[in-house]
Structure 1
Amino acid sequence: MTSRNIVSSEWLEAHLDAPDVVVLDASLYLPTDPRDPVAEYREAHIPGALFFDIDEVADTESDLPHMLPGPVEFSSMVRKMGIGDGQTIVIYDGAGLYSAARAWWMFKTMGAEHVHVLDGGLPKWKAENRPLESGVETRPERHFTARFNNDGVRSLDDVRSAIEEGHQIADARSLARFNAEAPEPRPGVRGGHMPGAVSVHYCSLLNDGLSYKPNAEIEAIFRDAGIDPDKPIITTCGTGVTAAILALALDEIGARHVAVYDGSWTEWGGRTDTPVVS
């Protein structure tokens, strides 16, 4: 392993047959991206990997995209997939380091202890000519006990209060979207940002979109943006996906009071009663 949250491709290949290791392909793409993550998984995935559908393991009663389900629902969904207590969960995606961080955050918020993201994701794995399989993988049902961490997630009302109290908010969207200079990818969502939020584009933390930069550089990026890792932080983005990239990076550098605003800008910018700065 390379860190508390990241595993190398060398480590994973050496542990593919370990009975306590479960690998998840958590690929997800923007609605404007024509890639089909399920089709790509069926065509080629890391041996033994299950497909973890972030759009399916979600709150089905919400009209917002892939909102975190409740702990009972989450337990039921992942139990049926064959993910259980005590397992080491390794997550990757087809972009490199994108939606895997969201799945990591979901499992951590549900109390899973041994959750990791594959360094470089599937692109790095393929570039190293490591083994791939096609088709669909299945595993026997396992018991999963969710221990929901309320401190890891924030709601709309939580963010309203945080803004009034001057808490730190880091926005993972591009600076152009943050400043309403580029359109939002989802219709009916205003441009701009929350009062007091600062821009920390998730791409600034990555090398070629595949791996995190060194911890010292990551900490410098946050501090230069005005974020103190030693104080509570809320991360946000478009739909709570790249906000998790910030949350994972902050965990890597030792920040321990980090929460993701699950509804993120799709919820905030999609309403008419929320303050917006552009």
Structure 2
Amino acid sequence: MDALVTTQWLADELSAPDLRILDATWFLPADERDAAAEFAAGHIPGAVHFDISAIADHASPLPTMLPSAEQFAAQVGALGVGDGDRIVLYDNSPHHTSARAWWMFRSFGIATALLDGGLVKWKAEGRTLERGAASPVPRTLTARFDPAGVRTLDQVRANLDSRAEQLVDARSTARFNGSEPDPRPSVASGHIPGSASIPQRDFFNPDNSWKHPASLRLLFEDEGIEIERPVVTTCGSGVTAAVPAFALHLLGHPAALYDGSWTEWGADPSTPKATGAA
């Protein structure tokens, strides 16, 4: 199974016994939308809701942080996902949150695919929807944490001197340059020094599908990012940072993600902050 599958491919595979479909739609409080209610109102047949707020490290003061492998395996296994399944992720969020779910699975050594265009494209094509809550049968899932794709504050701070890894910030331009205040009162404005700004929305076509690989490569190159060199992605809270990480995956160049992202960095008085253009 490819990392990016089409709506037609998924429609043809819906009845496959080893296929598991997860709706990873998630919203910020400012969106004033209820992901669980929207799932119940209409989702791809056979899908279950993957809540990135619930499947998170609740001992951390930061939102949506990666949980332990044991917690991930237990919660996702309860959604009916087991070893050997083919897993397809999609969302209906302006933040393209299925990419975050993809990164979470990848961090635990589990391959998944994203549905190109998500629920937006599926609905635009007039495809079948299912309503109501899902009732999955729990299965056993094995998860093993791989730290290669995760970065901590200390690692990103050390990189300011070494410059061994390039930083890509997926937030809006206004949030990146500091002209728009951070929505969290305790978090400063601006960005991590040395970061490049590539807003996550720039990776998508008007129909919500991913841009062609050649166009994805240009997005990075236009901001001075050499995709053959190591890249760390970041954003507000580690969610949309998964968008450029997945784009790099499509281009054959794995990236790491700073899970705490600007929520952690911007709230820490000891970290340097930059404003203005990159």
Smaller-chain TM-score bracket: over 0.9
2:37 matched residue in structure 1: 39
2:57 matched residue in structure 1: 59
What's the offset of the Cα at 1:96? Answer: 6.5
Contact 1:95 1:210 in 2 (8 A): no
Contact 2:109 2:145 in 1 (8 A): yes
Q: 1:160 and 1:194, CA in 2 relative to 1: closer, same or farther beyond 3 A? A: same
5 Å-filtered alignment, 1:1-278, equals 4-95=2-93, 98-113=96-111, 115-166=112-163, 167-208=165-206, 210-256=208-254, 258-278=255-275
What's the offset of the Cα at 1:186? Answer: 2.4
C-alpha separation between the residues in 1 aligned to 2:191 and 2:27? 22
C-alpha separation between the residues in 1 aligned to 2:168 and 2:192? 10
Contact 2:121 2:209 in 1 (8 A): no
C-alpha separation between the residues in 1 aligned to 2:31 and 2:262? 19
C-alpha separation between the residues in 1 aligned to 2:181 and 2:272? 18
C-alpha separation between the residues in 1 aligned to 2:60 and 2:268? 15
The runs of 5 or more residues in structure 2 that have no matched partner are none
Q: Give structure 1 regions of 4+ aligned residues with deviation exceeding 6 angstroms.
A: none
Amino acid of the residue matched to residue 36 of structure 1? D
Q: May I ask how many residue pairs the two structures share in their alignment?
A: 274
Deviations 1:111-132, CA, capped at 9 Å, x for gaps: 112x011111111111111111
With normalisation by structure 1, the TM-score equals 0.95
C-alpha separation between the residues in 2 aligned to 1:237 and 1:97? 11
Contact 2:23 2:47 in 1 (8 A): yes
Amino acid of the residue matched to residue 259 of structure 1? A
Contact 1:240 1:263 in 2 (8 A): yes
Q: Secondary structure at the match of 1:249?
A: helix
C-alpha separation between the residues in 1 aligned to 2:49 and 2:110? 18
With normalisation by structure 2, the TM-score equals 0.95
C-alpha separation between the residues in 2 aligned to 1:58 and 1:160? 24
The runs of 5 or more residues in structure 1 that have no matched partner are none
C-alpha separation between the residues in 2 aligned to 1:212 and 1:183? 29
- The percentage of aligned residue pairs carrying the same residue is 48
- Greater displacement, 4-13 / 206-215: 206-215
Q: 1:22 and 1:146, CA in 2 relative to 1: closer, same or farther beyond 3 A? A: same
Contact 1:203 1:209 in 2 (8 A): no
Contact 1:97 1:120 in 2 (8 A): no
Deviations 1:218-245, CA, capped at 9 Å, x for gaps: 1111011111111111000001111000
Amino acid of the residue matched to residue 145 of structure 1? T
C-alpha separation between the residues in 2 aligned to 1:65 and 1:97? 15
